[in-house]
Chain A
Amino acid sequence: MLSKQIIAAARGRGFVAGKNARAALSMTRGWEIASPYTRRAKFHSTSLIQAETVKVPQMAESITEGTLKTWSKQVGDSVAADEEVATIETDKIDVSVNAPQAGKIVELLAKEEDTVTVGQDLFRIEPGESSSSSSDPTPKEQKTEEKPEELSKGSKTKDSEEPKDQQVQKGAPPPPPPAKEDKQQMITPEAKKDKPKEKSGAATPAAETPKAPGSRNETRVKMNRMRLRIAERLKESQNAAASLTTFNEIDMSSLISLRAKYKDEILKTHEIKLGFMSAFARACSLALREIPAANASIEGDEIVYRDYVDLSVAVATPKGLVTPVVRNAESMGFLDIEREIAALGKKARDGKLTLEDMTGGTFTISNGGVFGSLYGTPIINLPQAAVLGMHAIKDKPVVVNGEIVIRPIMVVALTYDHRLLDGREAVTFLVRVKEYVEDPRKMLLV
């Protein structure tokens, strides 16, 4: 549905003078006011139609991606509502992606043989077909005036949920996204139907964009297996561990200057991108040496201490959060850690992580900072004892040697299991990490 302002603007009137008053009046008195304009506005409306983006649909339980196998239609082709546009194959399922409404394909957003994920944008369609025999995709550019009754017969689909009086597209909430009716008819041409049947105060139903005020559509999506498992483990963690979080701030200026100084050289010589994760990983390994309880786990009624550190690094993949493990991180230097993390990250994004890659960590580092978080309380990855959460680096005024200076500050959070760690140990651990990161040279002295 085009908003009245747009219609009025298209008509070039009613907007310059007394714009607010007129618009306000339109809003309150609905189509009564707007209708003289709308009846003529239909000739201008084609240029204001937005193309709709169609996404990869849900395929089957626990399936999150597939291979786009064929485009049955190409750019410029006209399609009828529900006609097949592409097929995706995944795990023995052939999934047909159909046009949500009649129109013309304007853009294909993936290539044949690409791996596509559920929810990814797949193609764009410009609604434009107005023939009443909707199964016949004749490429008519301009919609013709049609009687609303024809329309209701014209939508040959079996989806008869939409009430028939939606033909009179006046302020009534527009149909949910896969609208079977022709959207062009929103500007009701029939004078006799121009009764202000305003049901809701929604005077500007935007029918072109499917999300309109007043739409009460629900979509039920079954949780995929990964999400179910994540949910299970998170609850388990919350129930089993006595979790507390302690915070601290780290002055990142020293680390930032180290990185700035050496990253190009390292990239050239070793082809590794130097990030902050390696510094934190190393700092944590050293601190864990001092506070071994943070590297331990409870098994039954025993505490298991380890002399190695297997670091779980949280990586966000399209499928969800995974935590691949960097083994024996305590004996790795910055470069080795970065290399390993990059390799695991790539495996994760390619979906090639195995179960062994993901189990058995002794400590977790999670970086919420890439998304911009300031503070946060990470959740413990059972059966570990603690998890370090890194957050965004922000320039803040701090006091150094009695003076106020601007420094890049990162808040770090340590959520720990009180059954294993006391407050003193947890805080000491975090303080050690802070000291190592604030002055990386200290890491050489230990």
Chain B
Amino acid sequence: MLSIRPSSYIYSSRRYLSTPSTHTISPNHSIYLSRSTNPYFNLTFEDWLFRHSPTEKPLLLIYRDEPCVVIGRNQNPWKEINFLALRRAGNPFIRRRSGGGTVYHDLGNTNFSIHLPRTSFDRHATAQIVLRAVRSLGIDAHINERNDICIGKDKMSTIFLPLMACCFYVSGSAYKIVNNRAYHHGTMLISTRLDALGDLLRSNKESMITKGVASVRSPVCNLQQFSPTISHEAFSDAVVRAFQEEYNIDQEPYIAQEDEGATSIEYIREGMAELPSWDWAYGQTPEFTYGIKKSFGWGDMTVEIKSKHGIILSCSFSHDGAGSSSVDREILELSKALEGKRYGFVDNAAIDARAARGRDGDIWEWLKTAMES
């Protein structure tokens, strides 16, 4: 059991490497700790390391992000995220490059990324490294069949944790394989704002049917609920130690900053610009259809919007209103106007001014709100 001491002690017992900010950062270290909390930088840095570090060497990167939502490469952001809540919170969402589901990041969760040669990539083994780190901090966690780390609902632990009805996840993982390299990255919940997590990730679009990868929602909890002294530093240290033991590395961790040494690298600059771009963030969305209904004063309207790669392919209306042909005409124009536009980014100017008034105005308002939620 780790003796309880302030994390700064653990910090100072370790030597760290870093280079003056004017020198370009090197991809040849084995362990990196990023001091940046900019999610665009961290994800891009991770990708740069992935593609430029020596193929045969295991590599570990640890970082934390400011509050944001991170979705998997092949997911549908509208399905996964409650955009109303996201805008309220003022947080961004980012599409990462690895597969898997949606996670919430803030300074209370620590992200780790283990890079290995493709041939020795074994998800269970890498999960074990993180599990050993967690256990070394005195927490009785275990791994389930999907290589997720959770606490509770073990036949044995139900004796000790009688209040635990089921397994609570403390970590989520995703993976990526390119050519001769593969990585396992994930997040460890230490003291995350679980209420924010719940809000932003609460699905409010049951009728959106998507070909994107679906997230599997699981109950989560923080490590701090089991050990109040756990911190980002303690966890980072434990992971670094477990990694060093597993791969017999005695290099000290290298501190990376979002400074000129890093941003002078073109790949990193370009990557940081690509992540927030519409083409990447929204344009990678697989096909989906969203069916919504609303009752207006004059009747019930149902709409089905089809979209692929973030563009509206078609928008079909049907209503049961004691219709005047003008409604039919107007919705026909509306559906034609919407075709080819970016889903969720259609502004009023793009729609014929006429549509903004009258009955159609109600319809358009409703659609716009639905697409942006």
Contacts and interface: CB of A to CB of B under 8 A. Distances in A.
Interface of A: 59-61, 69-70, 82, 84, 87, 89-96, 98, 112-113, 158, 220
Given A59-B177, A89-B213, A112-B286, A94 B123 contact: no
Interface in B98-113: 98-101
Contacts of B37: none
B153 to A, nearest CB: 20
Contact of B178 (A89, A91, A96, A220): A96
Contacts of A84: 178
12 contacts: A69-B74, A69-B213, A89-B72, A92-B99, A92-B100, A93-B175, A93-B176, A94-B72, A94-B174, A94-B177, A95-B99, A158-B55
Contacts of A59: 177
Nearest to B52: A158
A198 B349 CA distance: 72
Contacts of A87: 73-74
Nearest to B148: A92
Contacts of B123: 60-61
Nearest to B100: A92
Contact of A96 (B146, B177, B286): B177
B119 A220 contact: yes
Contact of B211 (A61, A96, A113): A113
Interface in B168-217: 173-179, 182, 211, 213
A87 B95 CA distance: 15
A90 B74 CA distance: 11
Q: Which of A61, A89, A96 has the most CB of B within 10 A?
A: A89
Nearest to A57: B177
Contact of A60 (B97, B174, B177, B284): B177
B99 A98 contact: no
A89 B100 CA distance: 8
Interface of B: 55, 72-74, 97-101, 119, 121-124, 146, 173-179, 182, 211, 213, 284, 286-287
B284 to A, nearest CB: 7
Nearest to A220: B119
Given A61-B123, A92-B101, A82 B179 contact: yes
A113 B286 contact: yes
Contacts of B284: 70
A92 B73 contact: no
Nearest to B181: A96
A63 B162 CA distance: 36
B179 A96 contact: yes
Contacts of B213: 69, 89
Contacts of B74: 69-70, 87, 89, 94
A123 to B, nearest CB: 16
A90 B55 CA distance: 23
A95 B177 contact: yes
A272 to B, nearest CB: 33
Nearest to A178: B179
Nearest to B175: A93
Contacts of B177: 59-60, 93-96
Given A94-B98, A96-B178, A89 B73 contact: yes
Please list the 9 inter-chain residue pairs (A to B) with the smallest Cβ-Cβ separation, ordered nearest first. A94-B99, A92-B100, A93-B175, A96-B178, A69-B74, A89-B99, A95-B177, A94-B73, A94-B176
Nearest to A84: B178
Given A112-B286, A158-B55, A98 B178 contact: yes
Contacts of B72: 89, 92, 94
A220 B121 CA distance: 13
Contacts of B174: 92-94
Nearest to A92: B100
A289 B179 CA distance: 58
A82 B175 CA distance: 19
Nearest to A59: B177
Contacts of A220: 119
A96 B174 CA distance: 14
A61 B97 CA distance: 21
B179 A98 contact: yes
Contact of A94 (B97, B146, B173): B97
Given A60-B122, A96-B176, 17 more contacts: A60-B177, A69-B213, A70-B286, A84-B178, A90-B99, A92-B101, A93-B175, A93-B177, A94-B73, A94-B98, A94-B177, A95-B176, A95-B178, A96-B178, A112-B286, A113-B286, A220-B119
A426 B176 CA distance: 54
A220 B119 CA distance: 8
A60 B286 contact: no
A90 B176 CA distance: 10
B49 to A, nearest CB: 15
Contacts of A96: 176-179
A179 to B, nearest CB: 14
Q: Which of B119, B146, B177, B287 has the most CB of A within 10 A?
A: B177
A99 to B, nearest CB: 10
A84 B173 CA distance: 23
A98 B124 CA distance: 25
B176 A60 contact: no
A331 B178 CA distance: 54
Nearest to A113: B211
